[in-house]
Amino acid sequence: MASDQDLVVETVREILHGHEPFVLTAERSWDEGLWAALADAGLTGVGLPEEAGGSGGELADAVAVVRTLAAGAGAVPVAEQLLVAGPALVAADLDLPSPDEPLTVAFEGTVAAEPSDDGDGPGRFVLTGTATDVPWAGVARHVAVLATPPAGIEGAVLAVVDASGLTASRAVNLAGEPRGSLVLDGVGVPGALLDPARAAQLRARYALARAVQISAALQQVLAWTVQYAGERVQFGRPLGKFQAIQMELAQMAGEVTATAALVDAAVQALGRGEETLPLAAAAAKVRAGEAVERVAKLAHQVHGAIGFTQEHRLHHLTRRCWSWRDEAGSELTWSRTLGAALVAAGPDDVWPAFTAVV
């Protein structure tokens, strides 16, 4: 429900109007023009506090920006910046880079952090290792890295890396979005120690951000598919008049609506505080990933052969959804986490644990 966010949604839509999605390539791996327009409008700092250099506003505003860009297949690291890396740096009292420059996250890989002895005092670490599956690697100017802490310390080190001097290996997801690796060769950076709970909450934030994107994209896919079924005529009737097609569209609507309800509830859990977030985010990510399976399949089925081409817009969202469900933890990863948590309270207490999730 975005009633308070209507203005922000409208602004993002107007900007998107001048930046149609395109097929991402090695030469053009993100939408720099879209990013510049968003940054000019202050939208790349929404939800981040003004005193930290952000544009201010609520979590709901940031979610509205992310949802609108996801539905518009905007090739920019806004979800990473507004919902994950930005809030994490602020919460850890680390300096937020200028929101005008893209900031991303690196939570996978083999990066180890050791306290720095460069004489700059506490809060500095040396990072060594390879960060993998880095969204927008090579595009983002800064990276919030989650690294293994020094021996004997639990949790993780959150550090901010200036990526301008680093080379990113080229790898892309199914939608062509950069997902390469970054080699960190003893880089000295500011960082903060996160206890295990905060580290888990940060990973959950990333999962929830992807779930928010998926939910918004699937709602758009449904709308496109309903629209197409109303326009495409075969046997003298629009496709949408055939009962078989109606059943498929209703099934899509069920998936999309159920997913949106859970993702919204998980976002509200995040808004209330992060303690209850990990399981709510886990459930939302699993549900969203499952919805991708059925909704994308049926959307392509209804669209027919034209939807199977790069000429048609559908792939901008279906290819992204097929990737986003894998990223930040797949359904398998998070469903194991959720299942283990539900039985952790005791064999007879699955139901109380269930009702406490969200």
Tell me how far apart the alpha carbons of residues 334 and 282 are, in angstroms, rounded to a whole number. Answer: 5
Of residues 137, 184, 262, 302, which one binds other proteins by CB under 8 A? 262
Of residues 230, 234, 297, 306, which one binds other proteins by CB under 8 A? 230
Of residues 98, 227, 234, 309, which one binds other proteins by CB under 8 A? 227
Piece in contact with other proteins (CB under 8 A), picked from 31-39, 192-200, 279-287, 295-303:
279-287
Whose CA is closest to 107, among 175, 206, 35?
206
Of residues 36, 41, 171, 258, which one binds other proteins by CB under 8 A? 258
Nearest distance in Å: CB 302, other proteins: 11
Task: List all residues 6 or more positions away from 8 whose beta carbon is below 8 Å from its beta carbon.
Answer: 43, 46, 57, 61, 64, 65, 68
- Residue 64 makes contact with other proteins by CB under 8 A: no
Of residues 94, 194, 216, 229, which one binds other proteins by CB under 8 A? 229
The CB density around residue 29, as the number of other CB atoms within 10 Å, is: 20
Residue indicated by tokens 């919902």:
83
- Residue 254 makes contact with other proteins by CB under 8 A: yes
Range 314-343, binding other proteins (CB under 8 A)? 331-332, 334-340, 342-343
- Residue 312 makes contact with other proteins by CB under 8 A: no
Range 74-103, binding other proteins (CB under 8 A)? none
- Residue 261 makes contact with other proteins by CB under 8 A: yes
- Residue 283 makes contact with other proteins by CB under 8 A: yes
Residue 154 structure tokens = 């639990």
Nearest distance in Å: CB 35, other proteins: 28
The CB density around residue 270, as the number of other CB atoms within 10 Å, is: 24
Tell me how far apart the alpha carbons of residues 165 and 309 are, in angstroms, rounded to a whole number. Answer: 38
- Residue 246 makes contact with other proteins by CB under 8 A: yes
Tell me how far apart the alpha carbons of residues 312 and 329 are, in angstroms, rounded to a whole number. Answer: 29
Tell me how far apart the alpha carbons of residues 72 and 75 are, in angstroms, rounded to a whole number. Answer: 9
Residue 182 structure tokens = 């970054």
Tell me how far apart the alpha carbons of residues 33 and 212 are, in angstroms, rounded to a whole number. Answer: 24
Nearest distance in Å: CB 345, other proteins: 9
Nearest distance in Å: CB 1, other proteins: 5
Q: Which long-range contacts (CB under 8 A, 24 or more apart) does 300-304 make?
A: 301/248, 302/225, 302/228, 302/229, 302/239, 302/245, 302/248, 302/249, 303/225, 303/228, 304/232
Nearest distance in Å: CB 150, other proteins: 30
- Residue 301 makes contact with other proteins by CB under 8 A: no
Nearest distance in Å: CB 261, other proteins: 4
Query: In the complex with other proteins, which residue's Cβ is closer, 150 or 254?
Result: 254
Nearest distance in Å: CB 27, other proteins: 36
DSSP secondary structure of 262-319:
HHHHHHHHHHH-STTHHHHHHHHHHHHHHHHHHHHHHHHHHHGGGGGSTTSTHHHHHH
Query: In the complex with other proteins, which residue's Cβ is closer, 81 or 225?
Result: 225
Range 102-141, binding other proteins (CB under 8 A)? none
Residue 325 structure tokens = 């469900």
- Residue 310 makes contact with other proteins by CB under 8 A: no
In sequence order, what are the beta bridge partners of 115? 125
List of residues contacting other proteins (CB under 8 A): 1, 219, 222-223, 226-227, 229-230, 240-241, 243, 245-247, 249-251, 253-262, 264-265, 268, 282-284, 286-287, 290, 331-332, 334-340, 342-343, 346-348, 350-352, 354-355, 357-358
